[in-house]
Amino acid sequence: MKKQIAILGSTGSIGTQALQVIEEHSDLYEAYVLTANNQVDKLIEQARRHQPEAVVIANETHYARLKEALADLPIKVYAGTEAICQIVTEKPIDMVLTAMVGYAGLLPTMNAIRARKPIALANKETLVVAGELINELARTCGTPILPVDSEHSAVFQCLAGEAGNAIEKVILTASGGPFRTYTREQLATVTKEQALRHPNWQMGAKITIDSASMMNKGFEVMEARWLFGVRPDQIEVVVHPQSVIHSMVQFEDGAVKAQLGMPDMRLPIQYAFSYPNRLHASFPRLDFRTCTSLTFEQPDPERFRNLALAYEALHRGGNMPCIVNAANEVCVRAFLDGRVSFLGMSDVIAEAMQRVPFIAKPTYEDYVATDAEARRKVEEILTR
């Protein structure tokens, strides 16, 4: 029987590469459900090519077009965020790849966990916003969470065979993005066109901006806290411009294990699908005849303040990471729309951290309220 995979966010960068993995191993995997937010034309194209059991478009205004375009195929068509939350519980589904962007991925992921569907987690905001809640839910339901982010997949692979061996430190590598060598004065005039040109990875607009500001690395620090059960002070970030070492683990005896490979997201996606097995793949190989230099630098928290804000939020705990995530989502959209400067995003996030009420032990309802309040405060800050 082929493994049936639900891909939440199939039209994004991770979703499209996941479909490439499924095509390469069509004897092992099938796309059971494909979902998108607004990219209806791309979803139609994917549905016609991969013939899933069902498709869901979150933006209900696109439902009629989607339904009509697939009328000649035996594909169920749904619309709305509630439909996404419900579809992940379908009995035939063997795994849910959560590749939706932002806070929107939280509730569908929770529903999939409750339905005991193994999670291939690419939506880092799920653990950023509600890591403690998600971990407890996964433990209670016995649902495995397999990381898809290249950094967390690397740590996961380094920990294979190390059960019972204490972790001294998790070392997350960062490319440094397109502005690694920029001065603060240069960063003050960065444009969205510059920020969208990542030197190593092809990603969606939101995550590309997060990478340029290093908020993405801050989120990965938060995610590592919950995925691997380590304290914030046990998580180190190292800038590694070549993006060959995807992350490392240092053990209590001082030994360091690293996972290396080409910067290709299909590798961690495939590993999550096939774990604990490794499958042959046609992806490019690392060639040490051309890869002759690996360098490392310390990140600068003054130039890239978002990383420091993320650590602060993680240390404070409670709903503070939720505040940071919501504030960042609004700020990234505002930056892309020309409403805030590149450095101004950090200033707005920092102010939101001060102005949104702190809750030490938040419930799910508290997270929902915090997210809404943080977004409202940020819009207020941006428009004053």
Q: What is the CATH number of the domain that holds 111?
A: 3.40.50.720
Tell me, what's the pLDDT at 104? Answer: 82
Average model confidence (pLDDT) across the chain: 95
Residue 139 lies in a domain: yes
Q: How many domains does the chain have?
A: 1
Exposure b/e, 126-158, CB count within 10 A at least 16 = b = bbbbbbebbbebbeeeebebbbbbbbbbbbbbb
Residue 307 lies in a domain: no
Domain membership of residue 29 as a residue range? 3-147
Residue 81 counted as domain residue:
yes
pLDDT digits (tens, 9 = 90+) for 295-350: 999 999 999 999 999 999 999 999 999 999 999 999 999 999 999 999 999 999 99
**pTM for this predicted structure:** 0.92
Separation CA 374–CA 323 (nearest Å): 6
Is residue 74 situated within a structural domain? yes
pLDDT at 202 over 70: no
Distance CA 217, CA 238 (A): 10
Token pair for 88: 């992940």
Q: Are 129 and 103 in contact (CB under 8 A)?
A: yes
Can you tell me the distance from the alpha carbon of 203 to that of 7, in angstroms, rounded to the nearest whole number?
17
CA–CA distance from 288 to each of 51, 85, 92, 212 (Å)? 40, 45, 43, 28
Burial of 288 (0-12, 13-18, 19+ CB in 10 A): exposed
Domain annotation covers residue 92? yes
Question: Looking at the domain assignment, is residue 285 inside a domain?
Answer: no
In a domain, 231, yes or no: no
Chain segment 112-153, per-residue pLDDT in tens: 999 999 999 998 889 998 999 999 999 999 999 999 999 999
Residue 43 lies in a domain: yes
